[in-house]
Amino acid sequence: MAERPFDIIVYGATGFTGRQCAQDFAAHAGGLRWAIAGRNREKLDALATELGGVPVRVADSGDPASLDALAAQTRVLLTTAGPYAKYGDAVVDACVAHGTHYCDITGEPPWVRRLIDRHHERAAADGTRIVPFCGFDSVPADIGTLALVSHLRAAGTPLRAVRAAYTTKGGFNGGTLDSAITLGERGEQGQLADAFLLNPADARPRYDRARHGDRRAVTRDPVLGTWQVPFLMEAINTRVVRRSAALAAAPGYGDDFAYTEAFESRGRAAAYGVTLGLAAMERLLRTGWGRGLLKRLGPAPGEGPDDAALDGGFTRIRYVAEGPDGPVARARMQYAGDPGNRFTVICLCESARALAGDLAALPGGVGYGGVLTPATALGLPLLDRLIARGVDWRIEAA
């Protein structure tokens, strides 16, 4: 890649999440040359002044020429401008055309499936890393599983499955809600029923609902000793981890590998309440009147929790690795901060920094590319970065 004026550009910088990313770079630039970008010059200039004079670039998803110019100026383009099914195609097109590495925080697997079909081969040939899902969806799931798999592989311990159980406290921002509503408006929920939606066509294991199916019922986990319910992000995270397991650059998950998720509940009664609430949300997203109700009651794009709520959130994820004869290891990831906002921001920003750093240290080395996952594009170096930012990660005995 020829020398460019910037290492990283934050696109969508004046939105709720984009502003937090810009603030993160202002505090942790580490010598990187970076800029902010978006479609509103006035808002960008105000933010740039607030941040101490960071460079500004104007570009609009409706103006492909402006995005071409933007992608040509940076080694890495970080974008928070979603929903990506509405606003992301031209951004990725520009990055692939100019060999610019890319990362985002999409939670839209059907859109990423289209990216894979359109761009994976060229990005792989050019060594361009296109990395969706770099937020809370799906870095903790993907990188946590990779770390556990790598640990067991190094120890020579056979692995058959990993399951993750989440406990979180946090709120929605308007962009996240808008993405969910857009998925419903486009009638794409049905695609999420495909457990291997993001897998290569030649890497789709035989579907076994008991091992790969999405959770529908309340159960009690015998290892963790908690009641578990369906998890809102399961249909996103599981597809991402399965793509990681299927791609050639991934370490040895094994042909029979399975990954599943759940949300931990305080008790049995609460578990059934959460399950009913999630089912109601899914029904609302499937109907026009339901989506209209969510738009009226939920935060608008650009809105989100206040700083006190963001700082008061937390994430805990417990992983259980299963071998042929039962549990072989457990692991835990924790972070103090709202999962969909604070945790998402450090995941995304550190993903961009990894892409702007030493590519030889990342999976596949220099020249590796494609429409990838956090695990296959960024690997364990991303976990090291997250630990340095306050994420607690530990592997425990079974």
Higher pLDDT, 219 or 294: 219
Burial class from Cβ neighbours inside 10 Å (0-12, 13-18, 19+) for residue 11 reads buried
Residue 210 confidence (pLDDT): 80
Residue 373 confidence (pLDDT): 97
Residue 237 confidence (pLDDT): 97
Q: What percent of the chain has pLDDT over 70?
A: 93
Is the per-residue pLDDT at 251 higher than 70?
A: no
Q: Kind and range of the H or E element at 281?
A: helix 268-286
Residue ranges of the domains in the chain? 6-136+342-392, 139-338
List the 326-336 sheet strands across, edge first: 219-220, 227-229, 258-265, 161-169, 314-323, 326-336, 392-396
The CB density around residue 375, as the number of other CB atoms within 10 Å, is 34
DSSP type of residue 250: S
Lowest model confidence (mean pLDDT) among 42-56, 147-161, 180-194, 224-238: 180-194
Q: What is the DSSP string of 60-107?
A: -TT-HHHHHHHHTTEEEEEE----HHHHTHHHHHHHHHHT-EEEE---
Residue 220 sits at φ, ψ, to 5 deg, of -115, 125
Residue written as tokens 């899902």? 133
DSSP type of residue 266: S
pLDDT category at 386 given cuts 50, 70, 90 is very high
Q: Measuring CA to CA, which residue among 168, 204, 142 is closest to residue 376?
A: 142
Is the per-residue pLDDT at 1 higher than 60?
A: no
Residue 174 confidence (pLDDT): 63
Q: Do the beta carbons of residue 185 and residue 111 sit within 8 Å?
A: no
Distance CA 242, CA 200 (A): 10
Lowest model confidence (mean pLDDT) among 33-42, 103-112, 169-178, 317-326: 169-178
Preceding peptide of 61 cis, ω within 30°: no
Per-residue pLDDT tens over the stretch 328-377: 999 999 999 999 899 999 999 999 999 999 999 999 999 999 999 999 99
Strand, helix or coil for residue 287: coil
Q: Kind and range of the H or E element at 9?
A: strand 6-11
Helix %, strand %, coil % of the chain (to 5): 45, 20, 35
Distance CA 174, CA 114 (A): 24
Q: Measuring CA to CA, which residue among 310, 380, 294, 388 is closest to residue 345?
A: 310
Per-residue pLDDT tens over the stretch 274-306: 777 776 767 776 778 777 876 777 767 777 778
Preceding peptide of 363 cis, ω within 30°: no
Rg (CA), the chain: 20
Options 3.40.50.720, 1.10.150.170, 3.30.300.180, 3.30.460.10; CATH for 6-136+342-392 is 3.40.50.720
Is the per-residue pLDDT at 250 higher than 80?
A: no
pLDDT category at 133 given cuts 50, 70, 90 is very high
Q: Which amino acid, one-letter code, is at 245?
A: A
pTM greater than 0.75 (yes/no): yes
Per-residue pLDDT tens over the stretch 299-330: 677 777 788 888 899 999 999 999 988 889 99
- The chain-wide mean pLDDT, for the chain, equals 90
DSSP type of residue 248: T
Distance CA 246, CA 202 (A): 9
Name 258's Cβ contacts closer than 8 Å, sequence gap at least 6: 160, 161, 162, 208, 211, 212
Provide the token pair at 20.
């937090």
Provide the token pair at 344.
């998402």
pLDDT category at 197 given cuts 50, 70, 90 is very high
The CB density around residue 279, as the number of other CB atoms within 10 Å, is 12
Is the per-residue pLDDT at 2 higher than 70?
A: no
The CB density around residue 14, as the number of other CB atoms within 10 Å, is 21
Q: What is the DSSP string of 169-234?
A: E----HHHHHHHHHHHHTT-GGGGG-TTTTS-TT--PPP-HHHHSPP-S-EE-TTT--EEE--TTH
Is the per-residue pLDDT at 168 higher than 80?
A: yes
